[in-house]
Structure 1
Amino acid sequence: MNTLSSIDYIIFVLYFVLVASYGYYVFKKKKAQEHDSKAFFLAEGSLTWWAIGASLIASNISAEQFIGMSGEGFFVGTAVAAYEWIAAIALIIIAVWFMPVYLKNRIFTMPQFLKTRYNDSVALIMAIFWLFLYILVNLTSILYLGATAITGLVGDATAGTPEFQNILHLIMIGLAVFALIITLGGMKVIGYTDVIQVAVLIIGGLATTYLALTIVGDKLGVGNSAIAGFKALMNDSPEHFKMILPRPAATTGTINTPLNLDIQKWVVLPGIAMYFAGQWIVNLNYWGCNQYITQRALGADLKTARTGLIFAGMLKLMMPVIVMLPGIAAFVLHKHNALPGFSGSKDGAYSAILSFLPSGLKGLSIAALTAAIVASLAGKLNSISTIFTLDIFSKYIAKEKADEKKLVITGRYTVLVASILAILFTWNDLLGIGSEGGFTFIQKYTGFISPGVFAMFLLGMFWKRTTGTAAIVGVVLGFVLAIFFNNYAVGIFGKETWLYTAYTYETLGKDGLAHATTEIPFLINMGWSFVITVATMIGISLAGPKINPKAFMTDKALLKLDNRTIAMIVITLILLSALYVKFW
């Protein structure tokens, strides 16, 4: 049944009006730049450090985190916070070492970086790769997870029924249209509306977490304060507050056994091993080699870009409180039969917690969830538009050099087409996002190209000998190796080798029968794919000149940090160390 009251709808409408009005104000203010491609795609020079930092978080925190990471919090616990906390270090690395390279060489898109450093072929291959990835993995998963969560809160029907599907489709279209409106205003509108989005996201997310903890305290009879609720979580389920998971036995886990659950957790988060493998590749590739993210900083000066990135890293430290703790709260409540109607599906954990919230706060929480979804959709759409327009249309499609107006119009049409494609692929979950689990779906399939892409960027930035041939081989080899380790390695080499250990666990299929799955943890797959790719690229490059003519020249003066930047870095590292000491 519909669980929202009039005050919930009023709060949500106020949020929508606030964002839309501010976005329109920013758009009108920059009317003179309406047909300036640099302004449309990059908001060049107009975003402050706090707008960059807020926009990074608003675009990053989406249904993937609210629904997916909350679900992993329900299933695994604090170990999933590694994705957020390691990101803080990754942002420092990007700010200190990557940004000087980008800004000194006037890089505006990631394919442009590859063309400047390598050649046109590498740039074109990766532009196509990124377009497919952003549309088929990122846009679809954000849209599906977000629409499913909101439908569960505002719908009048049971999940799986035709009525539920109809509401799901309407909300899906509504989210896409809302994001489309913001995106058509360009990066400046996205950047500054993201400041409101991240404020709503944090306030609504913290309010949800606070209420979730008070509910836990009340249901477990330890008092109805958030502190009492948090202590109750730790006392009731201490295994959910460990950053490093214990390694399970490499035997087959069967349905409804502790071993089966331990194996499923390990496959997603393989203990300390992930810190020597895929965890760094995931974060450094996402934050440093990703048009969707780096675009916010590429139009700023170095000091502004650095401060914005490190500010975003500081905000990342608090994100698990918002997106993970509600999932752990749902786990404990479900364990004590205090979540009636909840099936135990991890992607339904966040919605189950929201159903407990009082009128008014529920509307704020839905606004926070919508803010996260819309901001991410808008950022992804803008990046798709930027890559297609600047790196494909203007270079390979336009018969003559396109003027500024034509580029902006093409960018807007691209946004519209990408939105329609995302809706079509998400309509009946054609890609199987629901069965895979939202968070795992994104990490796993993004991981197919991350090893090769990161190897290509890392060597291209910091090793002058890397050649264009090595780059092409690297990106293709990284992709092939990721698929090989994921789908074929176990069948050829067996479950136990010096490279990896594969695990077998059972899940219930739609037919109600147990089905066995054998796989290597995908973060381990990414690690070995990266190592082999780097070694191959180095071997190929050694056959070339000692210094590639297209290599970037380093400017050590750009690596110098001001006192404010150093202070922010030190504070971030101290806080992160304290968190790991507490929850190791």
Structure 2
Amino acid sequence: MEDVQQAITGLDIGVIAAYFGVVILIGVWVSKRTSSSDDLFLAGRSLGWAAIGFSLFASNISSSTLIGLTGSAYTTGIAPSAYEWMAGIPLLIMAFVFAPIFLKSKITTTPEYLDRRYSRRTRLYFSGLTIFFTVVVDCAGGLYAGGLVLNTFFPNVPLWASSLAIGLFAGIYTAAGGLKAVVYTDVLQAVVLIGGSAILAFMMFAQLDFSFAEIRESVPNENHLSMVLPLSNETLPWPGLFFGVSLLGFWYWVTNQYIVQRILGARSLPDAQWGAILGGMLKILPLFIMVFPGAMATAILPDIETADRVFPIMITELLPAGLTGLVLAGLIAAIMSSVDSTLNSSSTLLIHDFVTKPEQEIEDSKRKRYGTYATLSFMVAAIIWAPLIQFAGGLWSYLQQMFSILVPPLVVLFVMGALSRIGTEKGGFYTLIFGHTLGAVLFCLGNAGVMGLFGAEPIWPLHFTINVAVVTVLCLLFYVGVSLVTDKKDIDEQVMWRRGMALEDAAYDQPWYLDIRWHALVLAVAMAAVLFVFW
């Protein structure tokens, strides 16, 4: 059952080639219309709500996500899908709190917001960390996971060659077309990804006579199809579900340039808001088209021993020629969406946060040229690093959890910065230092691999999702304490949220079903329904 190698037919190759052909056409078409740095970094601030919503979905779903979601559903249960469907919570916060602030203040990067609210050193600290983790973890990790997946179906192609091909392809059209090329290809990739996954899910459900009862009978334990798990659960204990997941999501969907760049490129505030809510609705889909297929595989393919083989085996065992190519195109789409987004956001951060300085303005043509060079440079770095990940062993899983170290102080700085005037420059900057230091210490104390280096056992028992909540509270107390005893500066009113700000640009002469508040309510009800049904 572990052998997933299958001869790819000419029809499959044709489907994949057609997909690549369309992506190339989009890249060429957009590159001819990319004339300024604003076009390169923010798509000329011309993105509509549908493009934003689909791009948010596509850029978030990577090949490792596809493999991880189905593998987790097969081996441990559906609870990890909370990272997907609960994305609606921070996206609603984005729509009603931060999108109005970001767009009305005309910022280009999320670290720029910290500059306007706190100081330049706070901006550069956050920007540098974001660039490092985006390139080394997100971009290189996407290339590595994509190389592994392609190697499964094309075993004669070495890992380094797959990483090189994916990186070059995504890097070149991203460097040429910028954010608009990324977003337009993301729309295509989202459609292919959703379509391919939905077909696979439908075919698997058909094999079980469309019966949830058969799925429940096949899973290994009663918690397998539950979202709310005991405190002792190692996958996602219930405090982590209710507190940690949303906090991690806040960093990802509200402060991470890799994602937020689409919101910053919106042509209007309503487009940004509708796009964020559409993205939240689309994020519910993975539960049904990616996670449940993994759970259904426990009944259809009961003898799979390795979690990361579940998705490839489902494809090779269940799909006919042609459809295999479509789902492979979906996998390639997931890889491309993650890689192109990370490259574009990293170059944006580098140029706008480090190269461009308040006292030294740079010509627009130079910013565009520098952005292209930066994208290509990050592409090379990620391509070189990606194959080396295979030698890191457990270290790579540790790097993934290290995102939980980044989150707590950033949640405090952004939320308190927007909603309260109490925060000072020193309060903000030193909260970053305090939060990241404390998070790193707790991570090490609770990690068996790190403690084993010193011949000791882990002494911090909390799951990393619970750590996020604990450290966030401590960061809040530290932020308030330092701010109360340090000098305040005048605050730029454009970076502060005020009542009614989210609806200032709404067209009140539209019918009720176009009201953004109703859309938000539908998303909230949908998330509540998922939690209730799978409690």
Decide: shared fold, TM above 0.5: yes
Unaligned ranges ≥5, structure 1: 157-165, 218-224, 249-265, 491-503, 510-514
What residue is the counterpart of 1:186 in the other structure? 178
What residue is the counterpart of 2:357 in the other structure? 395
Distance in 1, matches of 2:491 and 2:528, equals: 42
**SS of aligned partner of 1:395:** coil
Select 2:480's aligned residue among 535, 538, 541. 538
Per the TM alignment, residue 374 of structure 1 is displaced from its structure 2 partner at its CA by 0.1
Q: Report 1:21-36 matches (<5 A).
A: 21-28=25-32, 30=33, 33-34=34-35, 36=36
1:522 and 2:504 equivalent?
A: no
What residue is the counterpart of 1:247 in the other structure? 231
The percentage of counterpart residues that share the same residue type is 29
What residue is the counterpart of 1:235 in the other structure? 217
Distance in 2, matches of 1:466 and 1:451, equals: 16
Deviations 1:240-291 (A, max 9, x none): 210011234xxxxxxxxxxxxxxxxx23311x21144321211111100111
Contact 1:206 1:322 in 2 (8 A): yes
Per the TM alignment, residue 430 of structure 1 is displaced from its structure 2 partner at its CA by 5.4
Per the TM alignment, residue 575 of structure 1 is displaced from its structure 2 partner at its CA by 1.9
Contact 2:109 2:348 in 1 (8 A): yes
Unaligned ranges ≥5, structure 2: none
Distance in 2, matches of 1:463 and 1:360, equals: 56
What residue is the counterpart of 2:388 in the other structure? 428
Q: Report 1:47-86 matches (<5 A).
A: 47-86=47-86
What residue is the counterpart of 2:326 in the other structure? 364
Q: Structure 1's 467 and 64: CA in aligned 2 closer, same or farther, altered over 3 A? A: farther
Distance in 2, matches of 1:477 and 1:529, equals: 10
Distance in 2, matches of 1:453 and 1:371, equals: 30
What residue is the counterpart of 1:296 in the other structure? 262
1:195 and 2:187 equivalent?
A: yes
Select 2:8's aligned residue among 4, 10, 19. 4
Q: Report 1:240-389 matches (<5 A).
A: 240-248=224-232, 266-270=233-237, 272-300=238-266, 301-335=268-302, 337=303, 342=304, 344-356=305-317, 357-389=319-351
Further displaced range: 318-327 or 356-365: 318-327
**SS of aligned partner of 1:277:** helix
Per the TM alignment, residue 547 of structure 1 is displaced from its structure 2 partner at its CA by 7.2
Given residue 358 of structure 1, which amino acid in structure 2 is its aligned partner?
Answer: P
What residue is the counterpart of 1:500 in the other structure? none
Per the TM alignment, residue 424 of structure 1 is displaced from its structure 2 partner at its CA by 1.8
Contact 1:99 1:302 in 2 (8 A): yes
**SS of aligned partner of 1:247:** coil
Q: Structure 1's 403 and 25: CA in aligned 2 closer, same or farther, altered over 3 A? A: same
**SS of aligned partner of 2:230:** coil
Q: Structure 1's 553 and 529: CA in aligned 2 closer, same or farther, altered over 3 A? A: closer
1:212 and 2:204 equivalent?
A: yes
Q: Structure 1's 441 and 87: CA in aligned 2 closer, same or farther, altered over 3 A? A: farther
Per the TM alignment, residue 443 of structure 1 is displaced from its structure 2 partner at its CA by 4.7
Q: Structure 1's 370 and 400: CA in aligned 2 closer, same or farther, altered over 3 A? A: same
Distance in 2, matches of 1:550 and 1:305, equals: 22
Deviations 1:386-443 (A, max 9, x none): 00011111229xx9532111111111111111112112222132573x6478xx6565
Deviations 1:219-243 (A, max 9, x none): xxxxxx4x13x44212221432100
Distance in 2, matches of 1:535 and 1:302, equals: 33
What residue is the counterpart of 1:163 in the other structure? none
**What CA RMSD, in Å, does the superposition of the two structures yield over aligned residues?**
2.4
Distance in 2, matches of 1:37 and 1:486, equals: 40
**SS of aligned partner of 2:245:** helix
Q: Structure 1's 240 and 542: CA in aligned 2 closer, same or farther, altered over 3 A? A: same
State the aligned residue count: 511
Deviations 1:89-127 (A, max 9, x none): 221121011111111211110121111111111111111
Q: Report 1:96-115 matches (<5 A).
A: 96-115=96-115
Distance in 2, matches of 1:273 and 1:328, equals: 24
Distance in 2, matches of 1:431 and 1:391, equals: 33
Contact 1:78 1:242 in 2 (8 A): yes
What residue is the counterpart of 2:501 in the other structure? 558
Distance in 1, matches of 2:24 and 2:333, equals: 12
Deviations 1:520-557 (A, max 9, x none): 31111111111111110011111245775346344433
